[in-house]
């Protein structure tokens, strides 16, 4: 195989109005003004709840749609691990000793896969490259630039035979701008994600995938 979050909950403060009674001792009292602050507050809170429900519905719809798109390319998808809305892919050019931007950009999804169970220290990298059913996780960029997507199959290093772990095992690192991933073929890619927080979190997710 070659390969969303904050909810704002706002609550309106209810103002407490004190009714001022008549100052005379007359038995007739003037009617007090209706207190509408509670009603206004309840309406505002109801509107907020409706907005939150709409956002949740939209998120579910968007995730379902994205899941179905990924499933077209990788039928073995099980569930999302993490999704970020925009990523640009680079590749390290050893001849130039620099990064080259590739024609892949769009949503980046990391997901678990229905894979063949393996024993630790049992797989050669050549075995993994020849059988995509062995990958536990997938990384995919749904490309907005052209029909072809970018993807990398992920497998925890512990499943590789000892002689292949260091030289050919997957590597995930991070610098100030990129998440760096070396695949099983030895190619090194850089994943650019705009938000620092999201980039850090995605990096930890990918490290988990290969170290768990």
d(Cα 106, Cα 69) in Å, to the nearest integer?
Answer: 13
Write down the pTM of the prediction.
0.72
d(Cα 51, Cα 57) in Å, to the nearest integer?
Answer: 10
Indicate the helix (H) or strand (E) that contains 42.
helix 37-73
131: phi then psi, degrees, rounded to nearest 5: -145, 95
**What are 132-165's pLDDT values in tens digits?**
999 999 999 999 989 999 999 999 999 999 999 9
Give the 3-state secondary structure of residue 54. helix
**What are 14-66's pLDDT values in tens digits?**
444 444 333 333 334 445 555 556 666 666 665 666 677 776 676 676 777 88
- How many other CB atoms are there within 10 angstroms of residue 104's CB atom? 24
Q: What is the largest CA-CA distance in the chain?
A: 100
């Amino acid at each position: 195989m070659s390969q969303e979050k904050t909810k704002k909950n706002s609550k309106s403060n209810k103002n407490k109005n004190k009714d001022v009674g008549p100052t005379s001792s007359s038995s007739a009292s003037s009617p007090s003004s209706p207190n509408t602050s509670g009603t206004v507050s309840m309406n505002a809170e109801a509107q907020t709840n409706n907005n939150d429900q709409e956002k949740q519905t939209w998120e579910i719809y968007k995730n379902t749609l994205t899941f179905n798109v990924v499933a077209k390319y990788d039928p073995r998808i099980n569930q999302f691990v993490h999704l970020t809305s925009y990523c640009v892919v680079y590749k390290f050019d050893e001849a130039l000793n620099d990064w080259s931007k590739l024609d892949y950009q769009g949503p980046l999804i990391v997901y678990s896969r229905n894979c063949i169970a393996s024993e630790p220290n049992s797989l050669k990298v050549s075995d993994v490259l020849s059988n995509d059913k062995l990958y536990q996780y997938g990384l995919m960029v749904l490309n907005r630039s052209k029909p072809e997507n970018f993807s990398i199959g992920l497998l925890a290093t512990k499943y590789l035979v000892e002689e292949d772990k260091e030289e050919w095992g997957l590597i995930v690192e991070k610098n100030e701008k990129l998440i760096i991933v070396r695949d099983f073929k030895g190619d090194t890619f850089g994943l650019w994600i705009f938000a620092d927080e999201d980039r850090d979190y995605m990096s930890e997710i990918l490290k988990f995938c290969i170290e768990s």
